[in-house]
Structure formats: structure tokens, C-alpha cells
Amino acid sequence: MKTFQLLQPQAGLRVFISGAAAGIGAAVAEAFLEAGAAVFVCDVDLVALQSMQARHPDCFTGLANVARADEVEHVIAQALEKLGGIDVLINNAGIAGPTAAVEDIATGDWERTIDTNLNSQFYFLKHAVPALKQSSDNASIIAISSVAGRLGYPYRTPYASTKWAIMGLMKSLAMELGPVGIRVNTILPGVVEGPRMEGVIAARAQALGVTADEMRNEYLKKISLRRMVTAQDVAAMALFLASPAAAHITGQSISVDGNVEYL
């Protein structure tokens, strides 16, 4: 095999992606589909799933609230039936959570952020790892964390807490699963352009009493390259981590962020 062919995942790789009907997850799914992988995505948004299916008829889809252990177990069973196994698990599902001072955060909002962003990763791991152990195709787990998983993030403590926890979860699993040949890595996206980030900017601007434009400029000043990344940038890293070129990369947290200096 030519050296640079190693940069592409093997055709036919069986990939499961959570929270992937829109945003980063959808971009990752589309990249793997283009590379010839068999892809199953789940999401809580039925309309978004239907749109994904319409755009990509060869993509398998399943409806699931990832914060519910029973629904995760069910959708993994669906994926195993459709794909015949799993070679790559991409734990992507997550929400922004509340933007507020810690004393103003509602307990329910805290719990919903933990359930969706962190507990869901455990649920998918619990039910997908047995299938990954049966894979002979460069099996790997990719967790989507955030630049907020390596930096403090005032007024976004629930979100940042989950993203730091994901780092610890994946670092530990790299050690646990390495002896059976499963690689585990984390991608830390930075400020990703799109509707979700615009919502975050608006909420933080309101919390701090500034305009959305002022807050957007503040975010850009914190990035060495002075520009946001795209969902496709994150997808490119996921493709690399699932490729033969990354066969000896595990236990790593890789930022795709233009070097965010602080939050």
C-alpha cells in the first residue's frame, strides 16, 4: 500500500456516530460515507434524522435520546443488526448546557448537561465495546470533547465539567482497551462556526451585558489564527484517527481549534 493511502480509512469500515443528524456529527458521518464506510447515526431529532436519510440514503439511522440508557442499548442493537458489527465508535452527542453564574444554574439544567454529555458516553461504551472487541479492522473509539476540556470556561461550568470528564474517561479507556487492540482518542474542537456557536455567543453576551458582535470578536481574539474552525475540520481529524495512518495513536487528546489560548 502506498504511504498516503494509509491516510484514508478502509472502505467498508463499520462506524457508529451518536448525535449525528446535524452539526459536527453530520459532517463526520458524511466524511466517512464519502470514504466508503458503512455508517449508522443516531439522534434525538426525528426531523433532522429524516433529512439526513434523504440526503444520504445509504446511511443507517436510529432515533434515540442518548441520556436514556435503555434507548442507547436499543439503538446499538439496531446498529449491530444493520452493520453486522462496529469498528469505530464516535461518541459525539452533546448539548451546550446553560450559560449562567454557578449560583444561578438550575439543578435540572446541570443534570441534563451531565446526562447528555457524559453519561451518554458511558452508555454507548458499555454496549459497543463488546462489538469493538470482535473487530479486526483497526478498532477505535473517538470521543468528541471540546477545547473547554483543557481550559476553564466561566459561566459554562456544566459544559466544561463534562468535557474535562470525557478526557479522563478516554485516557483511562486507552489503557484498559489497549491490550485488546482498541485505540481510544479524543478530539477537542474549538470555536466551531455554525448556528450552535451563534446561540452560545448570544447567551454569553446576554449574561455579560454586551452585544453579540462584541462577544464574537472576544472569541476570535482568543484564537491564535483569529478564525473559527468548521465542522469539516473536525471530520477530517476523525477520518485520520480511524485510518491505518493512526494505527499507533491512542490515549491522545487532539485539539482542532486554531489554538484557542483561553476562554
Is the pLDDT reported for residue 199 higher than 90?
A: no
pLDDT digits (tens, 9 = 90+) for 231-241: 999 999 999 99
Q: Which of 155, 159, 219, 262 is catalytic?
A: 159
Residue 262 annotated among the catalytic residues of the structure: no
In terms of pLDDT, which residue wins out, 199 or 63? Answer: 63
pTM above 0.85, yes or no: yes
For the CA atoms of the chain, what is the radius of gyration? 18
Is the pLDDT reported for residue 32 higher than 80?
A: yes
pLDDT of residue 261: 93
Q: How much is the average pLDDT of 61-65?
A: 98
* % of the chain surpassing 90 pLDDT: 87
Q: How much is the average pLDDT of 124-143?
A: 96
Q: Please report which confidence band the pLDDT of residue 5 belongs to, taking 50, 70 and 90 as the band edges.
A: low
pLDDT of residue 135: 96
Q: Please report which confidence band the pLDDT of residue 3 belongs to, taking 50, 70 and 90 as the band edges.
A: low
Q: How much is the average pLDDT of 157-182?
A: 97
Query: What is the per-residue DSSP string for 39-108?
Result: EEEEES-HHHHHHHHHH-TTSEEEE--TT-HHHHHHHHHHHHHHHSS-SEEEE--------S-GGG--HH
Is the pLDDT reported for residue 1 higher than 60?
A: no
Options 3.40.50.300, 3.30.70.990, 1.10.10.10, 3.40.50.720; CATH of 11-190+230-256: 3.40.50.720
Q: Please report which confidence band the pLDDT of residue 88 belongs to, taking 50, 70 and 90 as the band edges.
A: very high
Q: How much is the average pLDDT of 189-217?
A: 90
pLDDT of residue 251: 98
Whether the Cβ atoms of residue 19 and residue 93 lie closer than 8 Å to each other: yes
Give the range among 56-60, 67-71, 164-168, 200-204 with minimum mean pLDDT: 200-204
Residue 8: other Cβ atoms inside 10 A = 17
Q: Please report which confidence band the pLDDT of residue 4 belongs to, taking 50, 70 and 90 as the band edges.
A: low
Count how many Cα atoms sit within 13 Å of the Cα of residue 119 in the half-sphere of its side chain: 16
pLDDT of residue 195: 86
The domains of the chain are located at 11-190+230-256, 191-228
